[in-house]
Structure 1
Amino acid sequence: MNPIFLVGVGGMLGALSRHLVGQSLPGERRDTLVVNVVGSFVLGALTAGLSDNSAVLTLFGTGFCGAFTTFSSFAFETVRLYERGKRRRAVGNAAVNLVGALVAVALGSAAATLLSV
């Protein structure tokens, strides 16, 4: 199947899912953290071998996870906190998002490895 189509469909699903998470988690920055951590977990699992199918990786890894996770929102929210004089919150937001995403990738990778045994 055409990779452009797969990325487009995955991206559409990821963007819609991102919007639904934003609607269901009111409050500043919660939704961004959740989608970044969940998306990182999924991407970690996919790239660790949960799927060897290149179409699945393109659809879900590049398309869905690419649209679902949101580095730009995370960066914007962190800068806005800093500009508003909430420097500790800005650093905390950056740390929680980055560490959370890295831990989620590792956990997703470990989960995929365990499932493939």
Structure 2
Amino acid sequence: MNWLLVIIGAMVGAPLRYLTDRAVQLRHDTVFPWGTLVVNVTGSLVLGLLAGATSAGHASPQLQLLIGTGLCGALTTYSTFSYETLRLIETGAGFYAAANVVASVTAGLGAAFAGVSFAEAVWPR
């Protein structure tokens, strides 16, 4: 039944990713992929929170499958990040491509770290 938890999480994460990306991108008149950055950083934060809760014994393996693998796996998108960065380079927007790489990696790792730190503060071991 673990596969069912992953499917259910992905059924929520995939449309949430698409709708969030579109909503964010419509608000910004730029070639910078703000929508993808938002979903990736949000997913990193959620996954960090979940990892911290799990390590403190406050989240089950089933919740890890539902939220971590299913929802976050479908919400976040490394392939789209890579493709959009490549397209920025191909269209001569090298500054935006570099900014996308730096912002995505820095903010994603920072969000994951913040999520783990917050969870550990709320649920100490």
Q: Same fold (TM over 0.5)?
A: yes
Q: CA deviation at 1:48?
A: 1.5
Range with bigger deviation, 101-110 or 78-87 = 78-87
Give the 4+ runs in structure 1 shifted more than 3 A: none
Q: Which residue of 1 aligns with 2:113?
A: 106
Instruction: Give 5+ residue unaligned stretches, structure 2.
Output: none
Question: What value does the CA root-mean-square deviation take over the aligned residues?
Answer: 1.2
Q: How does 1:21-100 map to 2 (within 5 A)?
A: 21-25=20-24, 26=26, 27=28, 28=31, 29-50=33-54, 51-100=58-107
TM-score by length of 2: 0.87
Identity of aligned residues (%): 37
Q: In the TM superposition, what is the alpha-carbon distance from 1:49 to its structure 2 partner?
A: 2.1
**How far apart, in 2, do the equivalents of 1:39 and 1:64 lie?**
8
TM-score (norm 1): 0.93
Deviation at 1:23, TM superposition (A): 2.9
User: How big is each residue's C-alpha offset from its partner over 1:36-56, in whole Å with a ceiling of 9 and x where there is no partner?
Assistant: 001000001111125430100
